[in-house]
Structure 1
Amino acid sequence: MKTFFEKAQRFGKSFMLPIAVLPAAGLLLGIGGALSNANTVQTYPVLQIAWLQHIFTVMSSAGSIVFDNLALIFAIGVAVGLARSDKGTAGLAAALAYLVMNASINAMLANSGRLAEDNLAAAGQGVILGIQSLQTGVLGGIVIGLVTAFLHNRYNKIELPQFLGFFGGSRFIPIVSSFAAIFVGLLMYLVWPTIQLGIMKLGGIVDATGYAGTLFYGFFLRMLGPLGLHHIFYLPFWQTGLGGTLEVSGKVYEGTQNIFFAQLGDPGTSKFFIGTSRFMSGRFITMMFGLLGAALAIYHTARPERKKVVGGLMLSAALTSFLTGITEPLEFSFLFVAPFLYVIHAAFDGLAFMLAHIFQITIGQTFSGGLIDFILFGILQGEAKTNWMYVPVIGAVWFALYYFTFRFLIGKFNLKTPGREDEAAVENGAAEAAGAGIPAAAAVSDSSAQPRSKVILDALGGMDNIKDLDCCATRLRVSVNDPERVNQNGLKATGAKGVFVNGSGVQVIYGPQVSVIKNEIEEYMETE
């Protein structure tokens, strides 16, 4: 189980590279699509300026191309994310392998006489980078990424006979990956129609469960958050037929997110896909309103002498959640000291998803449910398309629900949320940090102190204990050789909101600045 967690966290974080490009693409498509829409232009005559419309059209096209080629982006991203070294070669090999896979599928369809001449969507086919192939979607890209990463990690140091020496090492990876992609293409040709049918049936089960299914989706999504495995859970609903299938402008799209962004660029869209309300929109209620109530409850229940410190912490975490939808800094303030509060939070989040489904709130998102996505994909798209006005109404209720529930339970059970810790515990924590050679101020800000990267590495057991190091949106994700050498208090003293260790997999939650921290550590390791 512990080995599974380590592999699952590496698999989950590999999704973050392709997912990270979506906000920029969504921003272009959201603004460009919304402000070049015929109905919007008619409503706001100021937008009828020709050169302005040219700009918006270019923005919309620039955003659309990303979502139209997500499978290729995921193939490259997964390979790069899972490669232990020489990540650039892994990305190039994955791109070549993806093209070869689709070319192989095309050849098999042509040889068998199954290459559709018209109505490609009905035959489960489409044109991918100029190649008519089966619509394997993001799942096909992920498969190629996994195959490439496996071959890269196994053979990127291979030594060939001297007369073939030029093709050894990293140069061997694009060759072997492309060769393997032929067989992946043949396998996809044989099994994909059956897989596609199975996905459609699973999607039917999800639909059949109605509001209850939506509630459990939201609950399990939130419960997987602390483990960092939530990306694995929601991605099939966002990117495959499990999240629905819809024809938009003559082309079939699979997955809630793909359907939403296809409709976003379609001027004929009058109402967004209902799957958006099931698998996306509930996040806005929790992230923009519910958790703010929790933050206020934690502040109000803090000891008087600690309120100033806790107030700054909660304000920062609440603003992060409200604006960007990144919730870990706030959630991890109570997760470890009061786990059952987190279970209640997950239940409330599931209810928020269910209410979004009931009221048919169809606000999409690129990454998370914060104010930025709410404005772009809710307000700017219009009430008729999204029912966005329900969000602040339900959100006000959710704010009160979180506030009074958290305040009651914290006081009733004397939970040690921030600002309520026993004085002895605070002093012991500072003493432990000092004993580990780590400043008690939590952020290593003193100029005479050791570099933050070295302090973090020491707390992780030293450079020789690091097997793999990467990050996602908010977490440093590390595989270590000996988990016993990891000093959790030492990591928390560097500003970590929380630390999660399972087997040799370690997750250190720093918040949105984690990518900077990861780069600092890698640069320090290269210089030592």
Structure 2
Amino acid sequence: MKSIFSVLQKIGRAFMLPIAILPMAGILLGVGGAFTNPTLIQTYQLNFLAEGTIMNKILILCSTVGSLVFANLPLLFAVGIAIGLANINKETAALSAVLGFLIFHTVINLILKFMGITPDVVSVDYLMQAGKSVAEAQGIKASYASELGIFTLQTGVFGGIICGMVSAYVTNKFSNVALPDYLAFFSGNRLVPVITILIFIPIGAIFPFFWPAVFRTIVKAGEAFSAMGYPGTFLYGFSMRLLNVFGLHHAIYPLFWYTPLGGVMEVGGKMVEGGQNIFFAQLADTTVKHFSANATKTMTGGFLPMMFGLPAAALAMYKTADFKNKKIIKGILVSAALTSFLTGITEPIEFTFLFVAPPLYLIHAILEGLSYMLMQMLDVAVGITFSRGLIDFTFFGLLQGMSKTSYQWILILGPIYAVVYYYVFKFMIIKFNYATPGREGAENKLYTKKDYQEKAGEDKLLTDIVESLGGIDNIQNIDACITRLRVSVKDETKVSDDNRWKELNAKGVIRSGKGIQVIYGTQAEIYKNKIRKKYNI
């Protein structure tokens, strides 16, 4: 189990790099789509945005650039995952991923030609003339796609993930190989592209013989998830919140956002797979009347707990704190609440109560699952790029309008969710005397970054973090997601206990074998970069 946790943690960490590109692309697409909408321009008489104006052309440019990113996600995932999983020579892994991706799809294209499969013979019209029904024809056509102008199998992001993983493996395995003198030129990094070519030729050659069956199985799994209806959506939201404790949600949700597990839909004459991909394809299509709530069902449900619920929970913790401590914890809780409300980053507030009051986290997960289900039931379709805070709500809800998103339900149910969170948390904290921040006997007293820097200085903090991980020699790899340092260590017994991490201002620690996650909120990425620079990792 611990080895599985370690693998999933590493995969989730690798996913974060390509996913980090999407917020800016989504904002460009959202702004471009909203302010080139003829209805919005006409309703508010925004004539300076009308078709043909300079501003209109700039906005179309923004929308086009955003669409470009989403259209090339498989390649971006290939490169991002190769960099994320490579332990050494990450730039070589990136080059290997691009090379492997091109070879992979070129070889698939050639094998399909040998099999007599071309774009013409998989068109809906051709297949219907051959006796297929409309549904059968569309299903067959959906099995094929174009990647960088290459006709190939519809491997989508899965194909990118495979290319990235193989490229990282090749880089880790062959970067330091020394060949005999007469082949010395091809030693080390130069050997990686050679092996990449040799490996991806057979991989691409065998794919057409088994991938169509795999693709159909994935589509069936996505259909089965949809067939579960509202209970399935509840289970998804509930499970993702529980997995968030271990940082494993990053390894799961991309499969629903970018692959057929999240649905397959025709948008603008093209088959699009994955919930987030469908949303942004519809965002770029001006003919869409209302975005698909089925596509966004793995996204929209987080707005209620993140924008309204958790800030109310922070208020409950403040109200139940001892009077003498309220001034101390006020800044901490306000900062955590604002972070959740504005950006949808929840760890800073969740980990203030998770370890001292696990039942509160379970209730939080249940309420989040209910929110996901409610949003789908009410046909709310507000997509996201980064997280479910005010920023994404503005770009992909407010600016797109009620008619396309039904965002009004978030504003209607949000205050109700806030009341529920507040009174449930307040009741539970008082009833069971949970040692939440500011209460007598609380061991998880938090300090702001400023407080600690004044006490010890940031350089000492970085040194202490490394020493608490067992020293630099005990660290195999150190990385970070949005809120956590993700570390692989050689000997987990050398890692300091939780009390030491609390002294170092950590919100919590997750341990599973040699995989260690230290929650530092939004400072995690900064600490990771500074530690790498300080110790030349």
Please state which band the TM-score falls in when normalised by the shorter chain: over 0.9
Match of 1:502 in 2: 512
The TM-score, its normalising length taken from structure 2, stands at 0.93
Partner of 1:204: 223
Mapped to 1, the partners of 2:483 and 2:525 lie a distance apart of: 8
Distance 1:520 1:448, change over 3 A: closer
Higher mean alpha-carbon deviation, 36-45 vs 512-521, is at 36-45
Instruction: Please name the residue that 2:55 is paired with.
Output: 52
Contact map agreement 1:15 1:74 (CA 8 A) in 2: yes
Residue 43 of structure 1 and its aligned partner are, at CA, apart by 2.5
Q: Does 1:382 align with 2:401?
A: yes
Q: Does 1:302 align with 2:321?
A: yes
**2:409 & 2:300 partners in 1: Cα distance?**
11
Is the CA contact (8 Å cut-off) linking 1:442 and 1:495 kept in structure 2? no
2:125 is the alignment partner of 1:116: no
Relative to structure 1, the CA distance from residue 448 to residue 309 in structure 2 (aligned partners, 3 Å threshold; closer, same or farther) is closer
Residue 104 of structure 2 is aligned with which of 95, 101, 119?
Answer: 101
Alignment partner of 1:156 is 2:175 = yes
CA distance in 1, matches of 2:76, 2:511: 30
Q: Is the 8 A contact 1:277 1:356 kept in 2?
A: no
For the 8 Å contact 1:440–1:493, the answer to whether it is kept is no
2:449–2:505 Cα contact (<8 Å) kept: no
2-side partners of 1:450 and 1:386: how far apart? 47
From the superposition, tell whether residues 190 and 445 of structure 1 become closer, same or farther in structure 2 (CA, over 3 Å). farther
Is residue 526 of structure 2 the alignment partner of residue 516 of structure 1? yes
Identity over aligned pairs, percent = 45
Residue in structure 2 matched with residue 443 of structure 1 by the alignment? 452
Matched residue of 2:388: which SS? coil
Q: Which secondary structure does the structure 2 equivalent of 1:443 belong to?
A: helix
Give the secondary structure class of the aligned counterpart of 1:276: coil
Q: Is the 8 A contact 2:384 2:392 kept in 1?
A: yes
Aligned to 1:454: 463
User: Does 1:468 pair with 2:477?
Assistant: yes
Q: What amino acid is aligned across from residue 236 of structure 1 in structure 2?
A: L
Go from structure 1 to structure 2 and tell me whether the alpha carbon gap of 1:114 and 1:359 turns closer, same or farther (over 3 Å shift).
Answer: same
Letter of the structure 2 residue corresponding to residue 269 of structure 1: V
Write the distance in 1 (CA, Å) between the matches of 2:395 and 2:332: 28
How many residue pairs get aligned? The number is: 517
- Quote the residue 1:8 is aligned against: 8
Q: Which amino acid aligns with 2:346?
A: T
Any unmatched runs of 5+ in structure 2? 125-137
**Alpha-carbon distance in 2 for matches of 1:275, 1:311:** 40
Moved more, 75-84 or 183-192: 183-192
Shift in alpha-carbon separation, 1:440–1:203, aligned structure 2, 3 A: closer
**Retained in 2: the 8 A contact 1:216–1:350?**
yes
Structure 1 residues 160 and 466, CA gap change in structure 2 (3 angstroms) = same
- Residues 314-335 of structure 1, C-alpha deviations (whole Å, 9 max, x = no match): 1100110111110000100011
Aligned counterparts of 1:188 and 1:442: Cα–Cα separation in 2: 56
Residue range with higher mean Cα deviation, 191-200 or 403-412: 191-200
Distance 1:404 1:191 in 2: 54
Aligned to 1:370: 389
Matched letter for residue 70 of structure 2: F
- Are 1:38 and 2:47 an aligned pair? no
Give, in whole Å, the separation in 2 of the partners of 1:139 and 1:294: 38
Which is further off, 271-280 or 234-243?
271-280
Distance 2:404 2:259 in 1: 23
Deviation track 1:33-70 (CA, whole Å, cap 9, x = no partner) reads: 11112332333332227000010000001111100000
CA deviations on 1:337-379 (whole Å, 9 max, x unpaired) are 1111111110000000000011011000012101010000001
Q: Distance in 2 between matches of 1:463 and 1:471?
A: 17
Matched, 1:190 2:209: yes
**1:289 aligned onto 2:308:** yes
TM, length-normalised to structure 1: 0.94
Give the match for residue 66 of structure 2: 63
Whole-angstrom distance in 2 between the partners of 1:268 and 1:115: 30
Post-superposition offset of 1:490: 2.8
| Match of residue 127 from structure 2 | none
SS at match of 2:486: strand
Distance 1:177 1:341, change over 3 A: same
Report Cα offsets for 1:291-325 as digits up to 9, x if no partner: 11111111111111111122111110011011111
Letter in 2 for 1:115: T
- SS of 1:336's partner is coil
Rounded to whole Å, the distance in 2 between the matches of 1:144 and 1:354 is: 35
Point out where structure 1 has 5 or more consecutive residues left out of the alignment. Answer: 434-438
Structure 2 CA distance for partners of 1:461 and 1:270, relative to 1, 3 Å: same
